[in-house]
Structure 1
Amino acid sequence: HNCFAFDGPMLVGLVNHIGKLDNLKEIVAGFADTLPLFRNSLPINREK
């Protein structure tokens, strides 16, 4: 969960830091974030 806000940028930044961003781009088409999917599929009352 939360790939777009945290994990994705962290992973890309670290891969770029070690000089392997071009390698990552060759094998990864993109990222998916399951957090919005789960929030829409399993609504809960967040005001508690």
Structure 2
Amino acid sequence: MQSQYFINLQNLATINEQVQRLIKAACDLDCGDRGTWQWYVVRLDK
């Protein structure tokens, strides 16, 4: 069973589509005066 957060970028035709998918799947953590942290879950190798 795949996680609902699994992102398969290989199925997207262009780099722009891949970037947009990552942006939509980003996680944000607002740290107030220290700024906002943003990260992406990406599997680089199987």
Structure 1 and Structure 2 fold alike (TM over 0.5): no
Between 1 and 2, higher relative CO (CA 8 Å, sep ≥ 6) is seen in 1
TM-score of the pair, normalised by structure 2 = 0.33
Task: From the two aligned structures, give the one with the greater strand fraction.
Answer: 2
Rg bigger for which structure?
1
TM-score of the pair, normalised by structure 1 = 0.32
Task: From the two aligned structures, give the one with the greater helix fraction.
Answer: 1
